[in-house]
Amino acid sequence: YRVTSPRQLADVAATLLTYGRRRVHRVAVIADGGGHAGVGSDVVEANGLSVPRFPTALSTALRPLLPPSAGVTNPVDIAGGGEQDIGCFASVLDAVMSSAEIDSVLLTGYFGGYAEYGEGLARDELDVAARIATIAQTHQKPLVV
């Protein structure tokens, strides 16, 4: 991977300091919309990484966490699940990071912007962000948000 800006250099350096140098080839993409999922997957693959299809057991485990219209094969399209239960971001992330078939996760889309809908949702989003940080730390897998 080649960085193209000082900001990217800082992000890569922080990631290396946190996780060290390890094989991180299989990336899960979690997004709250098909467009975000597609763009995220394209960026991952354009940088020489893969977005592998999830094993059936993982897709099956994700299904009850999300709306019926959600995509659960990688990339994951939360498909409105965040509006119904913002905690689904953390639940989905935990299930995905538990898989030995995934090395790292890209969480992309509107997460971080739900606070614009009101104070209650802003508090909930901060709580979920803290859960997400704990999940990434527990699994010791790189997470890009």
CATH code at position 69: 3.40.50.261
pTM for the model stands at: 0.85
CB 23 within 8 A of CB 50: no
Count the domains in the chain: 1
Q: Is 34 inside a domain boundary? A: yes
Domain hosting 97: range is: 25-144
Q: Model confidence over 90-135: pLDDT tens digits?
A: 999 999 999 999 999 999 987 878 788 888 888 999 999 999 999 9
CA-to-CA dists, residue 27 to 3, 7, 15, 40, angstroms = 18, 21, 15, 10
Q: Model confidence over 38-84: pLDDT tens digits?
A: 999 998 998 888 999 999 999 999 999 999 989 999 999 998 777 77
